[in-house]
Amino acid sequence: MDVITKEFNVKGMLCSRCLKVLSIEFKEIDVKIIDISLGKIVLRYNPKKVSNSKIEEIIKNNEFEIIGNSEDILAEEVKRIIIEYVWSSDLQLKLSEYITKRIDLNYDSLSKLFSKTFNKTIRQYSILLKVERAKELIENDELNFSDIAYKLGYQNSSALSRQFKNVTGINLSEYKNHEKSKRIPIDKI
């Protein structure tokens, strides 16, 4: 049996839901997943039964994009690290330190690459993520605004509230009392 193992770097695959969707679809066409992680999938399959174009079609139909350019791959890695940082419970390191600790490259170079690739700065992206994380924490209704602010690395709830209102147009209390969630999936930010 002629089987090959191939790695695909995937843009936009940033959350566990993304992994689940692709896992299900590849299992349905008898493609074995060797490794799947955010931004990367390694598949083993018989190219006589499943073509590369079928694999690419599944990826694209799920609103992802295959990337091969090393700069795009690096920019996606930075994006995943920022998400990890915002969702972690320990924001003691500055974001720039956290990124350079994970990717042993100059922060200014990574920042320029990120801005060029995504048309927003690392700071702008992290603020958007923090707002979405704040929305999630508000909806969970387990923490007060001060605790949410602290968890997200803000000095106080006023700082979080200002930034939240700048991004959403409403304050934290208005969001909490609003009936419908207006969250944006992280893979759409």
Instruction: Tell me the residue range of the domain where 29 lies.
Output: 4-68
Same domain, 93 and 112: yes
Same domain, 91 and 166: yes
Tokens of 26: 């590849």
Residue range 93-144, pLDDT digits in tens: 899 999 999 999 999 999 999 999 999 999 999 999 999 999 999 998 889 9
**Which of the four pLDDT bands, split at 50, 70 and 90, describes residue 90?**
low
pTM of the model: 0.81
Same domain, 144 and 57: no
Give the end of a domain, one of 68, 84, 117.
68
Same domain, 130 and 40: no
The CATH number given to whatever domain includes residue 116 is 1.10.10.60
Decide if 108 is inside a domain: yes
Same domain, 47 and 15: yes
Residue range 6-19, pLDDT digits in tens: 989 888 877 777 77
Helix (H, G, I), strand (E, B) or coil at 7: strand
The CATH number given to whatever domain includes residue 10 is 3.30.70.100
